[in-house]
Chains A and B, each alone.
Chain A
Amino acid sequence: MSDLRDLYQQTILDHTKRPRNFHEVAGANYCAHGHNPLCGDKLTLYLKIENNVIRDAGFQGTGCAISTASASMMTEAIKGKTTGEIEPLFEGFHSMVTAPVNVEPGEAKLEFLGKLAVFSGVREFPMRVKCATLAWHTLMAALKDGHGAVSTE
Chain B
Amino acid sequence: MNRPVIENSASAAAAPRRSPPSANSVFDMSLLRRDFPILQTQVRGKPLVYLDNAATSQKPNAVIAAITRYYSHQNANIHRGVYKLSAEATTAYENAREKIARFIDAPAAEEIVFVRGCTEGINLVAHSWGLGNLRAGDEILLSGMEHHSNIVPWQLAAERTGAKIIPVPFKQNGELDMGRLAELLSSRTRIVAITHISNALGTINPIQQITAMAHEHGALVLVDAAQSVPHMAISAKRIGCDFMAFSGHKMFGPTGIGAVWARKSLWDAMPPYQSGGDMIRTVTFEKSTWNQVPHKFEAGTPDICGAIALGAAVDYLTAVGMENIESAEQDLLAYAQQKLLSIDGLSIVGTAAQKAAVVSFTMKGIHPHDIGTIVDEEGVAIRTGHHCCQPVMDFYGIPATARASLAFYNTREDIDRLAAALEKVKEVFA
Q: Which residues of A contact B (CB under 8 A)?
A: 1-2, 4, 7-8, 13, 16-17, 38-42, 62-66, 125, 127-128, 131
Given contacts A1-B45, A39-B368, 5 further A-B contacts (CB under 8 A): A39-B369, A39-B384, A63-B399, A65-B366, A125-B373
Q: Is the CB of B373 within 8 A of A13?
A: no
Q: Is the CB of B399 within 8 A of A41?
A: yes
Q: Which 3 A/B pairs are nearest by Cβ-Cβ distance? A: A40-B399, A64-B367, A64-B369
CA distance A140 to B367 in the complex (A): 25
Chain A contacts for B393, CB-based, 8 A: 40
CA distance A12 to B11 in the complex (A): 51
Chain B contacts for A40, CB-based, 8 A: 385-386, 393, 399-400
**Given A1-B45, A40-B386, A65:B377 Cβ within 8 A:** no
Chain B contacts for A63, CB-based, 8 A: 367, 399
CA distance A64 to B45 in the complex (A): 26
Q: Is the CB of A65 within 8 A of B385?
A: no
Chain A contacts for B366, CB-based, 8 A: 65
Closest chain A residue, CB of each to CB of B374: A4
Contact with A along B383-394 (1 / 0, CB 8 A): 011100000010
Inter-chain CB contacts under 8 Å: number? 50
CA distance A1 to B369 in the complex (A): 20
CA distance A48 to B362 in the complex (A): 36
Judge whether B428 is part of the interface by a CB distance below 8 angstroms: yes
- Which of A16, A62, A128 meets B373, CB within 8 Å? A128
Q: Is the CB of B399 within 8 A of A131?
A: no
Most chain B CB within a 10 A radius of its CB, from A41, A65, A128: A65
Judge whether B429 is part of the interface by a CB distance below 8 angstroms: yes
A to B CB contacts below 8 Å, 5 in the list: A8-B370, A16-B429, A64-B369, A65-B367, A65-B429
Q: Is the CB of A131 within 8 A of B374?
A: no
Chain A contacts for B287, CB-based, 8 A: none
Q: Is the CB of A4 within 8 A of B377?
A: yes
| CB proximity of B362 to chain A, nearest CB, Å | 12
Chain A contacts for B373, CB-based, 8 A: 4, 7, 125, 127-128
Contact with A along B368-381 (1 / 0, CB 8 A): 11100110010000
Chain A contacts for B374, CB-based, 8 A: 4, 8
Number of interface residues of B (CB under 8 A): 18
| CB proximity of B53 to chain A, nearest CB, Å | 20
Within 8 A of A (CB), among B330-379: 366-370, 373-374, 377
Q: Is the CB of B400 within 8 A of A39?
A: yes
Chain B contacts for A127, CB-based, 8 A: 373
**Given A39-B400, A65-B429, A131:B369 Cβ within 8 A:** yes
Chain A contacts for B429, CB-based, 8 A: 13, 16-17, 65
Judge whether B44 is part of the interface by a CB distance below 8 angstroms: yes
Q: Is the CB of B377 within 8 A of A2?
A: yes
Contact with A along B200-244 (1 / 0, CB 8 A): 000000000000000000000000000000000000000000000
Q: Is the CB of A4 within 8 A of B399?
A: no
CA distance A42 to B399 in the complex (A): 9
**Given A4-B428, A39-B384, A40-B385, A65:B370 Cβ within 8 A:** yes
Closest chain B residue, CB of each to CB of A38: B385
CA distance A95 to B42 in the complex (A): 31
| CB proximity of A145 to chain B, nearest CB, Å | 25
Chain A contacts for B369, CB-based, 8 A: 39, 41, 64, 66, 128, 131
Closest chain A residue, CB of each to CB of B400: A40
Within 8 A of A (CB), among B384-414: 384-386, 393, 399-400
**Given A38-B385, A40-B385, A40-B393, A66:B399 Cβ within 8 A:** no
Chain B contacts for A17, CB-based, 8 A: 429
CA distance A17 to B430 in the complex (A): 10
| CB proximity of B126 to chain A, nearest CB, Å | 23
Closest chain B residue, CB of each to CB of A7: B373
Closest chain A residue, CB of each to CB of B428: A8
Chain B contacts for A13, CB-based, 8 A: 428-429
| CB proximity of B370 to chain A, nearest CB, Å | 5
CA distance A125 to B374 in the complex (A): 11
Chain A contacts for B386, CB-based, 8 A: 40
Chain A contacts for B377, CB-based, 8 A: 2, 4
